[in-house]
Structure 1
Amino acid sequence: MQQGPGSAEAVVFNGSPLSVDDVVALSTRQRLARLDAAPAFRERIERGAAFLDRLLREDGVVYGVTTGYGDSCTVSVPPELVAELPHHLYTYHGIGAGRFLTPEETRAVLAARLASLCQGASAVSWELLVQLEQLLVHDALPLIPAEGSVGASGDLTPLSYVAAVMCGEREVWFEGSRQRAADVLPRIGLAPLKLRPKEALALMNGTSVMTGLACLAWRRAAAVADLATRLTACNVWASAGNAHHFDETLFAFKPHPGPQRVAARLRDDLQADQAERNEKRLQDRYSLRCAPHVIGVLEDALVWMRQTIANELNSANDNPLIDPDGERVLHGGHFYGGHIALAMDTLKNVVANVADVLDRQLALLVDTRFNHGLPSNLSGATGPRAAINHGLKALQISVSAWTAEALKQTMPASVFSRSTECHNQDKVSMGTIAARDALRVLELTEQVLAGMMIAARQAMALRQRLGDAGRLPPALADFLAQLSDDVALVEEDRALDIDLQRLLTGLRAGRWEPYHG
């Protein structure tokens, strides 16, 4: 059960490391954001802003402060116009398109941007951090179009919607409806900001959209690996498969920890040490026998992806950076989202492969040539009425369609770099597109998982009806009982979309995580 806001310890922002789990908890409002009130933290933030102010008084040249943006960096901005430049940056980047980010996604984005700015290298004011914190606290969420970032020079266009809202422009999602930011800010005790020099760059010139989305994608992918393992155990048992394919000694000879972990869970679920060997069928087909090798790749990838995403989350990633200790302006390219692009391109590949192996398992279960005695299409109808009932025939078609679409999405986004902005941004990461792709692959794969839950419920019950596979192991018996609470046995044909959506809702709420729930 989710905790309500305030019922758990706040996530404190002070430049110290945050985790992927922190961002996920903020995205669901299980925890709230809080800026650290320690004087040393605030002093560090204010020191960077003060140094930049002094540099401007001394006629220093700072990109994006006393110059134009991007390819316009050779254009000097007259001193009397410097204060107007931030407004122009978020204004002309107001060209996003596509769907709006969901509330969960938007909270993750705000958390990621706040984490970056709290590193103390962006020369923003304390008041800006407070404004960003309060948007999270009061759940006043900028409406951010999902499309328009190439993932280098950061997520400029989508983050312009954050900057604009903080200045009282554009729209927010607040208290269940779409409202003008100018109307909402006073209601939560905030006045529109007048951005200081460099503050629009600090808000927009970073990787926070792709990073926030990556945090959510990582969490959902971990749940996919968990449930896919349990469903594989169900499918092995229901198809009278060979539990000894997951032998501990066998897996010791290939020391990848992910497959070893998946095999161990399958052994436990199937009580492999008590299972009889099937001497007539020594080897199951690959989708069952090699399931640990498929799901285990995802398990292993999750380890390094978590660290990669966390590193980006805890980075200062705008340009230029301001070193408040050495009093230096550091021009560079930390806005480049290559690490998130790699992680998300990899994630969508390994997740889609899990969807594919489950789809192949279902193809075996519904086919009387391969399911070892189960009825065609896992139909529960008997007697004369069996002739007019079709069981899970259409479910198998839908699962195949979702799987094919997930696999189609696995083309790496990062290889489609485009030269943009007068060839200033001539090599870009496409990390935000990769993250959005990953979320779509996860959405499709979750639909596959929900379909497989219906199939597992049906197949295990029908195998029990046959009475030829021995006792259902306790873990699978408990799982079947849970499934049976949500999905009735399909005996007469019925539409299954309501069952599917019910299972999807529970899955996305974290209900169906058998090893971590």
Structure 2
Amino acid sequence: MSLSLQSLEPERSVYFDGSRLTLEDVCALSRRECSAELSTSPEFLRRISRGAEFLDRLLAEDGVIYGVTTGYGDSCTVTIPPRLVPELPHHLYTYHGCGAGRFLTPEETRAVLATRLASLAQGVSGVGMALLRQLELLLRHDILPLIPAEGSVGASGDLTPLSYVAAVLCGEREVWYRGARRPAAEVLAQLGIKPLRLRPKEGLAIMNGTAVMTALACLAWERAEYLCQLATRITAFNVLASAGNAHHFDEALFAVKPHAGPQRVAARLRVDLTADRPSRNEKRLQDRYSLRCAPHVIGVLEDALPFFRTQIENELNSANDNPIIDPDGERVLHGGHFYGGHIAFAMDSLKNAVANVADLLDRQLALLVDSRFNHGLPPNLSGATGERAAINHGLKAVQISVSAWTAEALKQTLPASIFSRSTECHNQDKVSMGTIAARDCLRVLELSEQVVAAMLIATRQGVALRQRVDGELSLGPALSAMQADLGKRIPLVEEDRALDRELQGLLTAIRAREWRLYEA
């Protein structure tokens, strides 16, 4: 093959040799920050070849193998004539070409390819090295199958969306390549890549697994972890803007309730607010819950993230197709590892915790814009003064939009996993809905990030107006640096203006993780 790279390879590589990967590896691959590289070690190559060779011997001995010499699913009682066995894998991805909805984004698609490659590299799927290399080439050259997001019930894994990966490996359907939608056959030919002819079992190996839901879960976890930190920083700003009481985050107070997450959030707030502590003798001893209880709300997400990481990474590092091929014991093991229950639970739970954080920030904004509750700030955080104050409305509409985004996020929190349906002639009679849960979670994150972007405008405005009302605030280094950065991005809102471009710019910054927040 004559292969020309479309750009310089990233300096760092993620090696696929069956060893454990992290969700950060998948996220880095999704952003093209590193390259995918299959191991060339003799041990790895032998392990992959042993499984394929074992299947070849079984076929030669007229062995009965599900999905190889039989039909799929409920059709497992149908015996395939030997001369038709080579065609069966291609029929599998062909009849599953019925996806709908939006296409996965380039980042999501790269994560799917990486996640499927990680599973097959475990060496217990009975595939040949040619399949693994073809997946590696898609990642290396950024040839991205156009994968419809909808159509998976999460068991037998992500059959329909992964059929688009299988088809592209074989030179069929369409890809996104260098900014254009093109036929897969045309792109593979341009790069000198020969379309794959699937070996027996390889159609099942590609499609019968949890790669889509797990890939989306990796991306969701990373976004949720950053949102958790941003919500903490925004809360610190809002305590200052509201002339709130920083002693609500006292170390001794949190020592008596030993949840680690709220303790970490409170500790971060103490560092952020150490330079400006209101007096203990203020008449208002207690702030409203959205400030006083912020560590308790954000802390639920903070505590849940490590658990979700474990579940996602265990799935990422699993062999999750069926049947499993044991090359050492020379056994074909029929089971249900394609069931995405752990991802479904993690995503259903994560979207709940994230939406609650969005709701917390929405409540903080409602206090900030209301002159009855913001302790001396102008109505709607308007920066207009004099007679022009009468015709300016500040962040009134921003608060309405934040309320809408929050409500929609909360509406999405109904667990997808409780809607299991019996499918495929009752063969798949209990399914995970893990991919729907993951897509829901990403939508909740998208809405919550919009809330965060709006809150960054509001907190920048609120702190500046507090300084105007009460005089210069003594901000700690982290808050001072971030307030200065926000000031450059968002001019003070004095005269009414459209804020949508600034919101979009902030969303881009949030998703690029441009602010360094708290140390681990």
The alpha-carbon deviation at position 506 of structure 1 amounts to 0.8
Instruction: Sort the Cα spacing of 1:5 and 1:435 in 2 relative to 1 into closer, same or farther, 3 A.
Output: farther
- Choose which of 112, 135, 138 in structure 1 pairs with 2:138: 135
Q: Are positions 1:123 and 2:119 aligned together?
A: no
Whole-Å separation in 1 of the counterparts to 2:104 and 2:369: 38
Structure 1 counterpart of 2:133, one-letter code: V
* 1:95-143 Cα deviation digits (max 9, x unpaired): 0000000000000000000000000000001001000000000000000
Whole-Å separation in 2 of the counterparts to 1:470 and 1:398: 29
Which aligned pairs between 1:142-161 and structure 2 lie closer than 5 A? Answer: 142-161=145-164
* 1:355-390 Cα deviation digits (max 9, x unpaired): 000000000000011100000000000000000000
Structure 1 counterpart of 2:494, one-letter code: E
Structure 1 counterpart of 2:514, one-letter code: R
Whole-Å separation in 1 of the counterparts to 2:331 and 2:313: 26
Which aligned pairs between 1:435-446 and structure 2 lie closer than 5 A? Answer: 435-446=438-449
Kindly indicate whether the alpha-carbon contact (under 8 Å) linking 1:205 and 1:319 is maintained by their aligned counterparts in 2. Answer: yes
Whole-Å separation in 1 of the counterparts to 2:318 and 2:144: 23
- Choose which of 371, 384, 389 in structure 1 pairs with 2:387: 384
Structure 1 counterpart of 2:47, one-letter code: R
Residue of structure 1 equivalent to 2:3:
none
Residue of structure 2 equivalent to 1:32:
35
Residue of structure 1 equivalent to 2:104:
101
The alpha-carbon deviation at position 282 of structure 1 amounts to 0.7
Residue of structure 2 equivalent to 1:13:
16
Kindly indicate whether the alpha-carbon contact (under 8 Å) linking 2:276 and 2:474 is maintained by their aligned counterparts in 1. Answer: no
1:178 counterpart SS class = strand
Q: Are positions 1:369 and 2:340 aligned together?
A: no
1:32 counterpart SS class = strand
Percent of residue pairs identical: 74
Kindly indicate whether the alpha-carbon contact (under 8 Å) linking 1:263 and 1:292 is maintained by their aligned counterparts in 2. Answer: yes
Residue of structure 2 equivalent to 1:78:
81
Structure 1 counterpart of 2:240, one-letter code: W
The alpha-carbon deviation at position 479 of structure 1 amounts to 1.3
Q: Are positions 1:359 and 2:367 aligned together?
A: no
Instruction: Sort the Cα spacing of 1:375 and 1:274 in 2 relative to 1 into closer, same or farther, 3 A.
Output: closer
The alpha-carbon deviation at position 515 of structure 1 amounts to 1.5
Which aligned pairs between 1:449-460 and structure 2 lie closer than 5 A? Answer: 449-460=452-463
The alpha-carbon deviation at position 274 of structure 1 amounts to 4.9
Instruction: Sort the Cα spacing of 1:272 and 1:485 in 2 relative to 1 into closer, same or farther, 3 A.
Output: closer
- Choose which of 306, 309, 319 in structure 1 pairs with 2:309: 306
Q: Are positions 1:461 and 2:464 aligned together?
A: yes
Kindly indicate whether the alpha-carbon contact (under 8 Å) linking 2:246 and 2:277 is maintained by their aligned counterparts in 1. Answer: no
The alpha-carbon deviation at position 188 of structure 1 amounts to 2.5
The alpha-carbon deviation at position 277 of structure 1 amounts to 2.1
The alpha-carbon deviation at position 467 of structure 1 amounts to 2.0
Whole-Å separation in 1 of the counterparts to 2:46 and 2:440: 40
- Choose which of 310, 318, 323 in structure 2 pairs with 1:320: 323
- Choose which of 193, 204, 211 in structure 1 pairs with 2:196: 193
* 1:198-239 Cα deviation digits (max 9, x unpaired): 000000000000000000000000010010000000000100
When structure 1 is superposed on structure 2, of 73-82 and 266-275 the one drifting more is 266-275
- Choose which of 466, 474, 479 in structure 1 pairs with 2:477: 474
The alpha-carbon deviation at position 468 of structure 1 amounts to 5.3
Kindly indicate whether the alpha-carbon contact (under 8 Å) linking 2:10 and 2:32 is maintained by their aligned counterparts in 1. Answer: no
Structure 1 counterpart of 2:254, one-letter code: F
Residue of structure 2 equivalent to 1:217:
220
The alpha-carbon deviation at position 473 of structure 1 amounts to 3.0
Kindly indicate whether the alpha-carbon contact (under 8 Å) linking 1:240 and 1:469 is maintained by their aligned counterparts in 2. Answer: no
Q: Are positions 1:69 and 2:88 aligned together?
A: no
* 1:325-357 Cα deviation digits (max 9, x unpaired): 000000000000000000000110000000000
* 1:156-208 Cα deviation digits (max 9, x unpaired): 00000000000000000001100000011122231011101000000000000
Structure 1 counterpart of 2:467, one-letter code: Q
Kindly indicate whether the alpha-carbon contact (under 8 Å) linking 1:223 and 1:513 is maintained by their aligned counterparts in 2. Answer: no
Alignment RMSD (CA, Å) = 1.2
* 1:268-290 Cα deviation digits (max 9, x unpaired): 10107854224301100000000
How many positions carry a matched residue from both structures? 514
- Structure 1: 5+ residue stretches without partners: none
- Choose which of 266, 270, 275 in structure 2 pairs with 1:267: 270
Kindly indicate whether the alpha-carbon contact (under 8 Å) linking 1:151 and 1:431 is maintained by their aligned counterparts in 2. Answer: yes
Kindly indicate whether the alpha-carbon contact (under 8 Å) linking 1:412 and 1:434 is maintained by their aligned counterparts in 2. Answer: yes
- Choose which of 499, 503, 506 in structure 2 pairs with 1:500: 503
Whole-Å separation in 2 of the counterparts to 1:335 and 1:33: 24
Residue of structure 1 equivalent to 2:401:
398
Please report the TM-score for the alignment, with normalisation by the length of structure 2. 0.97
Whole-Å separation in 2 of the counterparts to 1:54 and 1:510: 51
Kindly indicate whether the alpha-carbon contact (under 8 Å) linking 2:244 and 2:278 is maintained by their aligned counterparts in 1. Answer: no
Kindly indicate whether the alpha-carbon contact (under 8 Å) linking 1:228 and 1:358 is maintained by their aligned counterparts in 2. Answer: yes
Q: Are positions 1:41 and 2:47 aligned together?
A: no
1:10 counterpart SS class = strand
Residue of structure 1 equivalent to 2:428:
425
Please report the TM-score for the alignment, with normalisation by the length of structure 1. 0.98
Instruction: Sort the Cα spacing of 1:286 and 1:239 in 2 relative to 1 into closer, same or farther, 3 A.
Output: same
Q: Are positions 1:514 and 2:514 aligned together?
A: no
Instruction: Sort the Cα spacing of 1:430 and 1:513 in 2 relative to 1 into closer, same or farther, 3 A.
Output: farther
Structure 2 counterpart of 1:218, one-letter code: W
Residue of structure 2 equivalent to 1:336:
339
- Choose which of 404, 407, 411 in structure 1 pairs with 2:410: 407
Q: Are positions 1:292 and 2:292 aligned together?
A: no
Structure 2 counterpart of 1:251, one-letter code: F
* 1:426-451 Cα deviation digits (max 9, x unpaired): 00000000000000000000000000
2:101 counterpart SS class = strand
2:421 counterpart SS class = coil
Structure 2 counterpart of 1:422, one-letter code: C
The alpha-carbon deviation at position 516 of structure 1 amounts to 5.0
Kindly indicate whether the alpha-carbon contact (under 8 Å) linking 1:113 and 1:208 is maintained by their aligned counterparts in 2. Answer: yes
Whole-Å separation in 2 of the counterparts to 1:286 and 1:335: 43
Structure 1 counterpart of 2:470, one-letter code: G
- Structure 2: 5+ residue stretches without partners: 1-6
Whole-Å separation in 2 of the counterparts to 1:252 and 1:8: 44
Structure 2 counterpart of 1:385, one-letter code: R
Q: Are positions 1:254 and 2:254 aligned together?
A: no
Whole-Å separation in 1 of the counterparts to 2:175 and 2:371: 54
